[in-house]
Amino acid sequence: MGGCFSKPKPAEDACFSIQGVLSKGRVRCPWHGACFNIATGDIEDFPGLDGLPKFQVKIEKERVYIRASKQALQSQRRTKVMAKCLALSNYSTAITNILIIGAGPAGLVCAETLRQEGFSDRIVMCTSEKYLPYDRSKLSKSMDSQADQILLRSKEFFHTYDIEVLTETQVISVDTKNKMVVFKDGFRMEYNKLLIATGSTPKTLTCKGKELDNVFTLRTPEDANRVVKLASSRNAVIVGASFLGMEVAAYLCEKAHSVSVVELENIPFKKFLGEKVGLAILKMFENNRVKFYMQTEVSELREQEGKLKEVVLKSGKVLRADVCVIGIGASPTTSFLKQSGITIDSRGYIPVNKMMQTNIPGVFAAGDVVTFPLAFRNNKKVNVPHWQMAHVQGRIAALNMLAQGTEINTVPYLWTAMFGKSIRYAGNGEGFDDVVIQGDIEEFKFVAFYTRNDEVIAVASINYDPIVSKVAEVMASGKTIRKRDVETGDISWLTGKGS
């Protein structure tokens, strides 16, 4: 994001820079939607962990002069000043002031925000995984990555700022009356305030053969690495045309002998991106030798000498398979809370308010496990399992653990890349009743506006940057974009290309 904005036109309230979107004292990244304060460089909306470096700037006529050391100019990030722990050094007997269950982006941002806000008591994060917090979204996008290449922070970082991370530790129950959690090994830990950020668990198939050695749900870096190895010059089958499934298919198509996708729906992403965009993506994949088997399910995974060899579909088709990746969705990891008194809805999600507070005082939740009020959709309770949203919610939870009374007010933003085409999406299109498309969908250069009851509630684009970030900024401002504003074909008011 660094260095992607230019001098704005002085008369404009919000305008495009060279690439980013500048509006009301902050600049929004055109690629991932993160927002930075232009005065301080601090990150104000996510994803991301660090701010931007700031420099002395002087503008004379049409020239911009920046004063900084060469080292500072080469830096792409700036870590905010953080406190350290001043509590007892004997941690074995000290009560945990704040316990974070889960070490994904929500948990990590919560811990960092607490330290940034001056919190100097004990912070403990615990995770059932064996790694420090890492970028799980890379598992389907960069499948060859090793764990140490996708860590969100180094081991030294956690040591420097006194953030304890307990790996390979699974919480099996929470006692909210006595403010205590119980781990699988019997260890108990007290807390003052608690964040539940356990993420989601991949759904699996129920058919025969689901436990075979070369069938994966892509949960760990080792899973991703093994899939690539097993698929090399062989036959890969992906079950589910989800974002994960399609990203895996795109990644493997140049490495595998064949890549097949099995999907229950008739068009990929139909419910999320609409029929026309879904068909365009389908065509793009087919043009890259990916074979689709739509409107069918897997009936059996057949083995030979203990390993998967064939995927049998309910349609009767039999697919050769040396490796199979399951991408049929995920469920919130909340079953361990059943006796806790924390409210869980019928789908397993934890309802929270705008401050990420559960029904139990002092207990917060964030990330994939929650439903929360989405401000720009009239506080509709939604679950948004986006990488960006987990960051935001972790920060909001931390601020309210410190009694700052901060409410969540962000616009969901996601992105993916397939075959060199970047798809960006902002808003929440759940329940859209029409799609207005501008541009050339066949040439993969278009923007799609998703509307409900004459209001634009989401936007997606390919090769139309930075329009998604611009729409996100308009939505974040509280303004309503009407269907008539985008269906005329003249969206110069949005692109900044008009008079």
Same domain for 148 and 104?
Answer: yes
What confidence score (pLDDT) does residue 42 get?
A: 65
Predicted confidence (pLDDT) at residue 3 exceeds the cutoff of 90: no
Q: For 241-260, what is each residue's pLDDT tens digit?
A: 999 999 999 999 999 999 99
What confidence score (pLDDT) does residue 64 get?
A: 82
DSSP E strands in 333-471: the ranges are 350-351, 363-365, 370-374, 380-382, 413-418, 421-427, 434-440, 445-452, 455-462
Q: How far apart are CA 102 and CA 339, in angstroms?
A: 19
Same domain for 309 and 234?
Answer: yes
80 located within any domain: no
Same domain for 292 and 384?
Answer: no
State which of 296, 328, 360 marks the end of a domain.
Answer: 328
Q: Which residues are within 8 A (CB) of 372 and not within 5 positions of it... i.e. 6 or more apart?
A: 351, 352, 353, 354, 356, 381, 382, 384, 393, 408
90 located within any domain: no
Q: How far apart are CA 155 and CA 178, in angstroms?
A: 32
What confidence score (pLDDT) does residue 207 get?
A: 94
What confidence score (pLDDT) does residue 482 get?
A: 93
Torsions phi, psi of 403, nearest 5?
Answer: 60, 40
407 located within any domain: no
Same domain for 255 and 232?
Answer: yes
**Residue 49 or 300, more confident:** 300
- 3-state class (DSSP) for residue 488: coil
Strand partners, 304: 307
Predicted confidence (pLDDT) at residue 499 exceeds the cutoff of 60: no
Q: How far apart are CA 452 and CA 275, in angstroms?
A: 16
Least confident of 41-45, 277-281, 432-436, 448-452: 41-45
Same domain for 177 and 34?
Answer: no
Which residue in the block uniquely carries the two structure tokens 């390979």?
Answer: 168
**What integer is the mean pLDDT of 27-54?**
66
Mean pLDDT estimate for the chain: 88
State which of 269, 301, 328 marks the end of a domain.
Answer: 328
Q: Which residues are within 8 A (CB) of 384 and not within 5 positions of it... i.e. 6 or more apart?
A: 372, 374, 412, 428
Q: Give how many domains the chain has, as a whole number.
A: 4
State how far Cα 320 lies from the chain centre.
33
366 located within any domain: yes
Same domain for 185 and 256?
Answer: no
Q: How far apart are CA 41 and CA 81, in angstroms?
A: 13
Q: For 58-87, what is each residue's pLDDT tens digit?
A: 888 888 877 777 766 666 666 777 888 886
pLDDT category of residue 43 using cuts at 50, 70 and 90: low
Same domain for 135 and 191?
Answer: yes
**Residue 454 or 26, more confident:** 454
**Residue 98 or 43, more confident:** 98
- What CATH number is associated with residue 375? 3.50.50.60
What confidence score (pLDDT) does residue 61 get?
A: 80
Question: Position 465: which residue type?
Answer: D
- 3-state class (DSSP) for residue 112: helix
Alpha-helix residue ranges (DSSP H) falling in 1-137: 70-74, 105-116
- What CATH number is associated with residue 437? 3.30.390.30
69 located within any domain: yes
Domain span at 196: 96-201+332-401
Predicted confidence (pLDDT) at residue 15 exceeds the cutoff of 50: no
Predicted confidence (pLDDT) at residue 17 exceeds the cutoff of 50: no
Question: Which tokens sit at 442?
Answer: 């066949």
What confidence score (pLDDT) does residue 465 get?
A: 83
**What integer is the mean pLDDT of 457-468?**
92
With vertex at residue 297, the alpha carbon angle to CA 292 and CA 298, rounded to the nearest 5 degrees, is: 100
Predicted confidence (pLDDT) at residue 227 exceeds the cutoff of 50: yes
Same domain for 323 and 361?
Answer: no
Predicted confidence (pLDDT) at residue 7 exceeds the cutoff of 50: no
Contact 328, 246 (CB under 8 A): no
Same domain for 324 and 337?
Answer: no
pLDDT category of residue 40 using cuts at 50, 70 and 90: low
Least confident of 51-55, 166-170, 300-304, 463-467: 51-55
What confidence score (pLDDT) does residue 201 get?
A: 96
